[in-house]
Amino acid sequence: MKPINQMNLRVESRSVNESFARAAVAAFVSQLDPNVEEISDIKTAVSEAVTNCIVHAYADSVGEIYIWTGLYENGLIRIRIRDKGCGIPDVKKAMEPLFTTSGDERAGLGFAVMESFCDKIKVRSTIGKGTTVTLEKRLEGRDCRND
């Protein structure tokens, strides 16, 4: 399936870019006319994924975060957030709610939040090579839109 529109974004893994990344994806997605809740869902999920890149993938360095967003017919949105950081040793474990490797201030809920606010999430990771998180969300009430 080919997207009807897509965008690429590359940002450095600085925490100040978290708000920019989620706002940029939200602004791009807004052309599909999502409702307020859907926009919040997308912003929250993107924020979690980008924060993971900053806190975990590039824990001791600054690297690049690649964000791709594709818009499809019938209101499907696909967002891919990729890093070339340290990788996740055990993806299943990392996705367990409340599991965290980084101490008190992190709730360990990043993946749980992504899962609850998106329809689908796929995580691919290779140690030393990086991680790709793909999020999918279908906007409500868009079924008859492109007929």
**Is residue 95 classed exposed, middle or buried when 0-12, 13-18 and 19+ CB atoms within 10 A define those classes?**
middle
Residue 52 is among the residues annotated as catalytic for this protein: yes
Among residues 41, 57, 46, 3, the alpha carbon closest in space to that of 118 is found at 41
Applying CB under 8 A, the span of 3-11, 70-78, 102-110, 136-144 interacting with another protein comes to 102-110
- Say whether residue 16 binds another protein (CB under 8 A): yes
Pairing of strands 130-138, 120-126: antiparallel
**21/72 with CB nearer another protein:** 21
**51/134 with CB nearer another protein:** 51
Please tell me what DSSP assigns to residue 56. I
**What is the C-alpha separation between 68 and 140, in angstroms, rounded?**
22
- Say whether residue 105 binds another protein (CB under 8 A): yes
Applying CB under 8 A, the span of 36-44, 67-75, 125-133, 136-144 interacting with another protein comes to 36-44
Residue 106 is among the residues annotated as catalytic for this protein: yes
End-to-end C-alpha distance for the chain, whole angstroms: 17
**Pick the catalytic residue: 106, 124, 138, 142?**
106
Sequence-distant (6+) residues with CB within 8 A of 16 are none
Instruction: Give the catalytic positions in this structure.
Output: 48, 52, 106
**Binding stretches for another protein (CB under 8 A):** 15-16, 18-19, 22, 37, 40, 43-44, 47-48, 51, 54-55, 104-107, 109-110, 112-113, 116
